[in-house]
Structure 1
Amino acid sequence: MSQSRANATERAGSTGMPGMRGIDHIGITVPKLEEAVEFFVNVLGCEAFYELGPFQFADDWMQRQLNVDPRAVMRRLRFLRCGHGSNIELFEYEAADQKLVPPRNSDVGGHHLAFYVDDLHAALAYLREKGVRTLGEPIVRTEGPSAGQTWIYFLTPWGLQCELVSFPGGKGYEKETERRLWDTRLPGR
């Protein structure tokens, strides 16, 4: 193990949950699994792996284990790998109390997936050619801890908020400390 990796592991393990290494995957519920997999694979370039399901239980297992309606059916789930980042687990559920409108960033539980790209403008042009809805125009940070970063949000066909982000020369905070956020550009560090 490299010294920088050992130091990162040591820092991560020095406080908090024993043995925590990082985020393995992010789970997202989608309205139609096949359409979501198609978007993540054929538009964004993720790689599809295995699929499981359906899961349905006569007792309260779904409520006890997953905090969903006890009669909910997890029709299917599929794991994807997206470049050098975390894996994504896509779920398709059927539940009587299911909400069909994705949360906004400002809602409790709001979220977005950020995809690092080497050339934000080329990636943005590509998404627009594919008919993907983008929100506003790219934001370029020139000052503060995020200086050097450019970003823009886009929406999947079902409304999941996503972001393109790029900072090929690093970020401003890096001038102030030797500590680093995990960086998609350098996944082994």
Structure 2
Amino acid sequence: MANSDRGSDNGSDGGSSSTSDGIPTARNVDHVGITVPDLEEAIAFFEDALGCETIYRATPPVDDSVQDWMHRNLGVHPESTMRLARLRCGPTTNVELLEYDDPTQTDEHPKNSDAGAAHLAFFVEDVDAAVAYLEDVDGVELQGEPRYNEEGPEEGQVFVYFRAPWGLQLELIFTPDDVGYTKSTDARAFGPAPEWDAEPSWSSE
């Protein structure tokens, strides 16, 4: 890690020149965690509508000898309980779906403009075809029409947002090889993968 070039100044407009190599021994982002109101509903949607694969289900390893374990370790109400499922979505992304039973929780979803709001985006080669598919998925809410970015670092991208039946914010996006930012920096975002079911070249499987 000491010889990593992560964080180096690559000359991009507005880029950071931080010299930090990040978290010692880090290898990759392990998963994206999403809290859902109904775990079974969320698993079914991610499997049936989005094409993800459930790897396992679990509950947190609560140590009953530690007072307020849930609050100390997860930052939630001490009397909360939780169960989760780990899914693999495409070749490189693990998604952790979590359902809490917490006396203080709220079912309100943050707006995209609220601090802490997040979304999960899916690269597709044909946004129109993906939209047509989602229009037939029960409970999905498409937000507007696909938009084409005509200038700036995202020039050439096409995107549209949509919501899962319980309100989770999601996105379809297509990014061409010559997307705008590639004209001003040698840095590259990851993707796209060769196909949804592809195994990364470094996979041990």
Same fold (TM over 0.5): yes
1:49 pairs, out of 46, 51, 55, with 55
Secondary structure of 1:24's match? coil
Deviation per CA, 1:37-70: give whole Å up to 9, x if none.
0000100111111001276665211111100001
CA–CA distance in structure 1, aligned partners of residues 129 and 101 of structure 2 = 38
Tell me the residue number matched to 2:155.
147
Give 2:122's aligned amino acid: F
Secondary structure of 2:152's match? coil
Q: How much does 1:110 deviate?
A: 0.8
2:114 pairs, out of 79, 101, 107, with 107
1:73 aligns with 2:74: no
Greater displacement, 44-53 / 168-177: 168-177
CA–CA distance in structure 1, aligned partners of residues 130 and 185 of structure 2 = 30
CA RMSD of the aligned region, Å?
2.3
Query: Contact conserved, 1:73 with 1:94, CA < 8 A, in 2?
Result: yes
Give 1:33's aligned amino acid: L
Q: How much does 1:169 deviate?
A: 3.4
Q: How much does 1:168 deviate?
A: 3.5
CA–CA distance in structure 2, aligned partners of residues 161 and 127 of structure 1 = 14
> Gaps spanning 5+ residues in structure 1: where?
1-5
Tell me the residue number matched to 2:17.
none
Q: Give the ranges of 4+ consecutive aligned residues of structure 1 lying more than 4 Å apart after TM superposition.
A: 54-58, 186-189
Greater displacement, 104-113 / 177-186: 177-186
Secondary structure of 1:104's match? coil
Give 1:153's aligned amino acid: Y
1:32 aligns with 2:35: no
2:90 pairs, out of 63, 66, 83, with 83
Secondary structure of 2:153's match? coil
CA–CA distance in structure 1, aligned partners of residues 24 and 101 of structure 2 = 35
TM-score of the aligned structures, taking structure 1 as reference length? 0.87
CA–CA distance in structure 1, aligned partners of residues 193 and 58 of structure 2 = 31
Amino-acid identity (%): 47
Secondary structure of 2:33's match? strand
> Gaps spanning 5+ residues in structure 2: where?
8-19, 195-199
1:129 aligns with 2:136: yes
CA–CA distance in structure 2, aligned partners of residues 57 and 177 of structure 1 = 49
1:178 pairs, out of 172, 178, 186, with 186
Q: How much does 1:121 deviate?
A: 0.9
Secondary structure of 1:68's match? coil
Q: How much does 1:101 deviate?
A: 0.9
Greater displacement, 164-173 / 125-134: 164-173
CA–CA distance in structure 2, aligned partners of residues 134 and 80 of structure 1 = 24
How many residue pairs align between the two structures?
Answer: 181
Structure that is richer in helix per residue: 1
Secondary structure of 2:128's match? helix
1:17 pairs, out of 15, 23, 32, with 23
